[in-house]
A and B are shown apart, each in its own frame.
Chain A
């Protein structure tokens, strides 16, 4: 049975609080991992490990952080993700809200757009 949004959020909140050393109250659905919660690149590996353990799921490389798209010259020109790249991102990351990133499109800034609610939607899709 799929996990409720609230149930998934509570667990994500606990894991992010532990991984990033922030108070659970700071982990709101709208908080961005990098900007609001101070995540650095190595924290993403930590977060993936913790989510796998907490939700008994397996996260494959690229499922949450789409290097395969962002480093593919077919989808990126200079540092800008092309229209085709955006379509590909929406296809491989259906659980992530990409509207804000669509306005920016700088591939290096992609991690800055991941929000807590995206992680919740991701684990829900994995446990459904």
Chain B
């Protein structure tokens, strides 16, 4: 089982760009622990920033995998930058736009912008900048070996891509 932190892919341009969205919902348990009410203030449910990084990692990871037709095992290797300027509240849509910075046999680097869309008036607010690095782990410098089957791009991911129409 694996948590998928994006709901739908809107754009997927081979080796260049991927755009995905996530609807933030109060039905997600994690929001109730982040942050619960205290004696001095009411609850402040927001999608944790760590999971926003994961959402960008999934968006950009799909772009990196798609570039080589999902033949590589793409692993998040480094969060180069994660700068947040706002929060992801329930009832809003989070849009992840990932751009390929560079890709080769060993891995890839990506830059990403996260925005918060208000469904009430379609207004858009910048939320974060997240730059990531991915490793094609079968080509790691240490020469370590990993299982042969592609445990990164499982059916869950491939179904998401198909359901999004790609």
Residue numbers of A with Cβ under 8 A of B are 18-19, 41-46, 49, 52-53, 61, 65, 67, 71
Contacts and interface: CB of A to CB of B under 8 A. Distances in A.
A46 B101 contact: no
14 contacts: A41-B142, A42-B77, A42-B78, A43-B78, A44-B141, A45-B106, A45-B107, A45-B135, A46-B80, A46-B133, A53-B102, A61-B106, A65-B141, A67-B143
Contact of A49 (B101, B141, B142, B143): B101
A44 to B, nearest CB: 7
Contacts of A44: 141
B102 A42 contact: no
Nearest to B105: A61
Contacts of B107: 45
Interface in B58-84: 77-78, 80
A54 B105 CA distance: 20
Nearest to B140: A41
A46 B102 contact: no
Contacts of B142: 41
A99 to B, nearest CB: 24
A67 to B, nearest CB: 6
Given A52-B102, A61-B106, A45 B143 contact: no
Interface string B75-96: 0011010000000000000000
B156 to A, nearest CB: 25
Contacts of B143: 67, 71
B109 interface: yes
Contacts of A46: 78, 80, 109, 133
Contacts of B102: 49, 52-53
B78 A49 contact: no
Contacts of B78: 42-43, 46
A49 B109 contact: yes
Contacts of B140: 41
Nearest to A52: B102
Given A65-B141, A67-B141, A67-B143, A45 B77 contact: yes
